[in-house]
Structure 1
Amino acid sequence: MDVLIVGAGPTGLALGIDLARRGVDALVLERADALFPGSRGKGVQPRTMEVFDDLGVLDAILAAGGDYPVQVIWQDGERVGEHHMFDPAEASEDSPYTAPWMVPQWRTQEILHKRLTELGGRVAFGRDVVSLAQDEEGVTLRLASGEALRARYVVAADGGRSAVRRALGIGMTGETVDPSPMLVADVRISGLDRGNWHVFPPRGEGDGFLAICPLAGTEDFQVVAQFPEGTDVDCSLDGIRKVVAARSHLAPEDVTEVRWASDFRPRAALADRFRSGRVFLAGDAAHVHSPAGGQGLNTSVQDAYNLGWKLGAVLRDGADPALLDSYEEERRAVAAQMLGLSTRVHRGEVRRGEATRQLGLGYRESSLTTETRTTPGPLRAGDRAPDATVDGVRLFDAFRGPHWTLLALGVEAPDVVTAVRLVQGPPYEAYGTGLFLIRPDGYVGWAGETSRGLAEYTRRVGL
């Protein structure tokens, strides 16, 4: 086995898809007997929509979800105002997706799981990892059943309480974002329209807010309620009915069913390391966010997207294993940035807008980034490669797949290795003039005015 992935959440499933399409022998292990049943991470940000486009699941994601509704503010049974959660942004040729898309997490996972099986991958459910041991050749995982599994690499995508992270002895540094406990639940409710997100502010000192959001593509609503510090949150049907009736104009019996419920304390924490030998941490195993701003699931999926092509390059293309060092270098810095953003959004210091869309994230400072132009244009090596139509070719169509892409814009195209797709055309405003080697995860790895230094870079990354 090449790779064992622990955890069948969005992170583990996305990584499984990326490895499967590269011909990497990987298995996803999931402790539970089925996929996660709740809506918890319901926001898909524009950058993740681009990732899902590449992984072949965007059409299904779009069909399964919908736009975020306008929030309606209620007081004493009357609508007293409206609130738009996100700053608007117009779609453009270089950024076709600019608004978050609402899809309940359970549905996102179903879509990713289906895609994984289409590619020949699989999830082994009911597999509880209790310990690991690694050596120079690989990693051995021992399961609660007594079974032992071995692979060349292991990726821990098993959540904020990661058993693999604890087995490695990697700590997490963080803070409590808000001491107030929270309830989140997927429920069936009568008496509320599904065209708005219904918000009920605290009625008095010591009370918490109540928010009831229709979950796009389903008949459910997501209930989120805040409680005073020290409260024991009741996640039962009766407990949720009491909260809804006490904080809104709805009657207890209007809550007809609870499909999933959980309580949590908003916190932010970052793993001290994202790698230990042949084991990598990804998703919530590496960083835990406040849900405000919808950054957790998206940052996690992008962890997988960053790691997948690098594992494929080492395991299938003969790249130097040192390439894997760039995973922690690149993703830990991004995770730290997104943790800070989530916390500021939670505390009302920052609005949801350009930063939360994640289109501006990049790797300019990465050791894997090479900028050779004396005067870089609007786009630099390390930046996200924007969409465009070049000589009749849509770039996102050219990028789609596990390969690298070389753009020759306004300059002569050099001979390239067969593993690289070549697109030629005139200079384009979003790029400028030059040669741009686009990584499989959609970032500019190398940029130059001529091909000098390009061959050396391609050898380094296994091309």
Structure 2
Amino acid sequence: MTPAQHSTNGPDPVLVVGAGPVGMVIACDLLRQDILVRIVDAAPSTTIHSRAVIMWPRSLELLRRIGVAEELAETGKHIDAVSYYSGSNRLGAIEMSRLHDTPYPFGLCTPQWKTEDVIRKRLVELGGQVESETALVGLDNSGDRPVATLRRRDGSEERVRASWLIGADGSHSTVRKELGIEFQGQGADVLFAIGDGPLDGPLPPDEMIYCYNAGGAMGLAPFGDGTFRVACSVPVWNDEDEPPRELFQENLNRVVPFPAKLGELKWTTVFRARRRTAAAFRAGRCFLVGDAAHIFSAAGSQGMNTGIQDAINLAWKLGGVMRGTVDARVLDTYDRERRHSAERVSLVTAKQTSWGLVQQPAKVALRDALVRGARLTGAFQRLVTPLMSQLSVNYASDREDVKADIRWRRKPLGVGERLPVFVSDGYEDGEQGPWPTIADDRFTVLTWSGGARGVQWEARCAALRAALAPHHPVRDVSAWPALKEFLGTGPRAVVVRPDGHIAAIEPRLDPARLRVVLARVGAARPETASAEAAPTEAA
């Protein structure tokens, strides 16, 4: 069938391929920035299964941008801690409830279909609509703009010229294949059977638990209604067969250190814990996000959370470029930043998987001793909690060594690190809410006195505000004493990105110097930004 030609009337849309949580998040963020978006998905509707079920604090922080964080927090079961058992011994726990620098000191356990329902509702409120049963079957990226061929359920085809194209179409991404981008991997597959069903037993009601022993590894997470996500390692399995209840019950009896009886399963499948990363996250005006860009072990439930970070990282940059508040070269940072982050997650989840599956007594003893020691010294909470919650994601340009980046968080914070400042949650600019607010569509300059404020300080802030406004908002955050832990004792100006990561730190409130710094990090005046600048390839 000959595809219908795309319409030449009006601006070309951003085309998002894939309407899972990640695809819908980026579509929502662009729509709220008044960007024309089309989002298509080959599937007929929202998934009815739970699939990705855990959402960590950093994802909720970022989802404030599209206005769904509070509803998700009310919908899901709060997870206060993640506990680790070796045999009958509780080695230690990651306590999300002890996090003090986030509005969301907990994880969420929610079936994916519920998460998608909340985001899809917001998508419609913003004027979007998922075009279901519409598959990408061709992609020409050789011209100045990508041209996609879409096929609907009835077999009709349409050619769509897009301003930008985003592949959020999963691990078997058609976008990635059409672009000719390799999906590189390492390590052998590790098989896990996963399912959802009622569990009866003395299980911690607000904890996710991992259990390890010679019989294998198992993970349990509560949905809050008596139903749990149940996952267990399996040596071999036919992908065509659904794991039966008996398999899970046998593993519960063998691995979990307290009695637990599993009822009728609502859903089961086998998950292959592969490690794969796309050779490039960008090709011209096309980008990959989520599982289309990377997949890794389910240990730590990092997959969907990493995809949400991809979506927000790209959305503020792309939206800013298209609206003229961000320089086009900022898009070149997407590949480097998100690749580094994905590689870090891949390394951490692979290590957790391998540690959970060790069988040799000497290695088991070493693992258990290390975890116990880290718990007793407090290192387990200080190091692992920020990693799992994704609060320690760092975009510093000099962080090339993934292993070196898994470290203690510096205090005060440096360039690239996340500062606990967020887009507005209802407080007007200037009001004292729980945390300072920042602009959601451009860089914000935060002024920090580091101590007492006086008339001279106020005058310096006012002068800076007058020099940089309205293109670059300036906020004095000296009234928030909790920020001293992160910003130190000396006066400074901190340039913060729309996602809350630090772009630059300057020791003086010098307007001329701050203009240079803002230009260097990619902030742009509307009259000088070029939304249609020819894209360069990411390094």
| TM-score, L = length of structure 1 | 0.84
What residue in structure 1 maps to residue 472 of structure 2?
420
Structure 1: distance between partners of 2:344 and 2:220: 29
Structure 2: distance between partners of 1:365 and 1:198: 35
Shift of 1:317: 1.4
Shift of 1:241: 2.5
What residue in structure 1 maps to residue 387 of structure 2?
355
What residue in structure 1 maps to residue 280 of structure 2?
273
Shift of 1:97: 3.4
Q: Is the contact between residue 153 and residue 278 of structure 1 (CA under 8 Å) also seen in structure 2?
A: yes
Structure 1: distance between partners of 2:241 and 2:32: 40
What residue in structure 1 maps to residue 248 of structure 2?
244
Amino acid at match of 1:421: P
**Structure 1 residues 43 and 83, CA gap change in structure 2 (3 angstroms):** farther
What residue in structure 1 maps to residue 452 of structure 2?
none
SS, match of residue 452 in structure 1? helix
Alignment of 1:56-95 (within 5 A): 56-68=67-79, 85-87=93-95, 90-92=98-100, 94-95=101-102
**Structure 1 residues 212 and 384, CA gap change in structure 2 (3 angstroms):** closer
Q: Is the contact between residue 381 and residue 447 of structure 1 (CA under 8 Å) also seen in structure 2?
A: yes
**Which residue, 221, 227, 232 being the options, matches 2:238?**
232
Shift of 1:98: 3.9
**Structure 1 residues 199 and 100, CA gap change in structure 2 (3 angstroms):** closer
1:53 equivalent in alignment to 2:64: yes
Once structures 1 and 2 are overlaid, which stretch shifts more, 119-128 or 379-388? 379-388
**Which residue, 177, 184, 187 being the options, matches 2:194?**
184
Alignment of 1:282-361 (within 5 A): 282-317=289-324, 319-348=326-355, 352-361=384-393
Q: Deviations over 1:3-43 (max 9, x none)?
A: 11111122111111110111111121111111233323222
| TM-score, L = length of structure 2 | 0.73
Shift of 1:277: 0.9
Q: Deviations over 1:258-313 (max 9, x none)?
A: 2x332122111111111111100111111101010122211110111111011112
**Structure 1 residues 400 and 112, CA gap change in structure 2 (3 angstroms):** farther
What residue in structure 1 maps to residue 492 of structure 2?
434
**Structure 1 residues 304 and 425, CA gap change in structure 2 (3 angstroms):** closer
1:103 equivalent in alignment to 2:155: no
Amino acid at match of 2:487: Y
What residue in structure 2 maps to residue 451 of structure 1?
511
Structure 2: distance between partners of 1:276 and 1:61: 33
Structure 2: distance between partners of 1:398 and 1:422: 11
Q: Is the contact between residue 325 and residue 442 of structure 2 (CA under 8 Å) also seen in structure 1?
A: no
Amino acid at match of 2:397: E
What residue in structure 1 maps to residue 4 of structure 2?
none
Amino acid at match of 2:178: A
**Gap runs ≥5 in structure 2:** 1-11, 255-260, 356-366, 372-379, 400-409, 450-456, 526-539
Once structures 1 and 2 are overlaid, which stretch shifts more, 10-19 or 423-432? 423-432
Structure 2: distance between partners of 1:315 and 1:269: 31
Shift of 1:380: 2.4
Higher helix share: 2
Amino acid at match of 2:196: D
Amino acid at match of 2:223: L
Q: Is the contact between residue 157 and residue 281 of structure 1 (CA under 8 Å) also seen in structure 2?
A: yes
Q: Is the contact between residue 139 and residue 147 of structure 2 (CA under 8 Å) also seen in structure 1?
A: yes
What residue in structure 2 maps to residue 32 of structure 1?
43
**Structure 1 residues 86 and 40, CA gap change in structure 2 (3 angstroms):** farther
**Which residue, 396, 399, 407 being the options, matches 2:446?**
407
Amino acid at match of 2:264: T
**Structure 1 residues 73 and 438, CA gap change in structure 2 (3 angstroms):** closer
Once structures 1 and 2 are overlaid, which stretch shifts more, 394-403 or 11-20? 394-403
Amino acid at match of 1:316: R
SS, match of residue 317 in structure 2? helix
Amino acid at match of 1:462: A
1:461 equivalent in alignment to 2:461: no
Shift of 1:96: 3.7
Q: Deviations over 1:115-135 (max 9, x none)?
A: 221111221111111210024
**Structure 1 residues 419 and 245, CA gap change in structure 2 (3 angstroms):** same
SS, match of residue 359 in structure 1? coil
Shift of 1:101: 2.5
Structure 1: distance between partners of 2:340 and 2:86: 40
Q: Is the contact between residue 447 and residue 474 of structure 2 (CA under 8 Å) also seen in structure 1?
A: yes
What residue in structure 1 maps to residue 532 of structure 2?
none
Structure 2: distance between partners of 1:166 and 1:402: 32
Shift of 1:201: 6.2
**Structure 1 residues 242 and 173, CA gap change in structure 2 (3 angstroms):** same
Q: Is the contact between residue 446 and residue 454 of structure 1 (CA under 8 Å) also seen in structure 2?
A: no
What residue in structure 2 maps to residue 372 of structure 1?
none
Shift of 1:235: 4.5
Task: State the aligned residue count.
Answer: 441
**Gap runs ≥5 in structure 1:** 368-375
**Which residue, 15, 33, 52 being the options, matches 1:4?**
15
Amino acid at match of 2:515: A
Once structures 1 and 2 are overlaid, which stretch shifts more, 38-47 or 419-428? 419-428
Alignment of 1:216-227 (within 5 A): 216=224, 218=225, 220-227=227-234
Identity %: 27
**Structure 1 residues 141 and 199, CA gap change in structure 2 (3 angstroms):** same
Q: Is the contact between residue 83 and residue 94 of structure 2 (CA under 8 Å) also seen in structure 1?
A: no
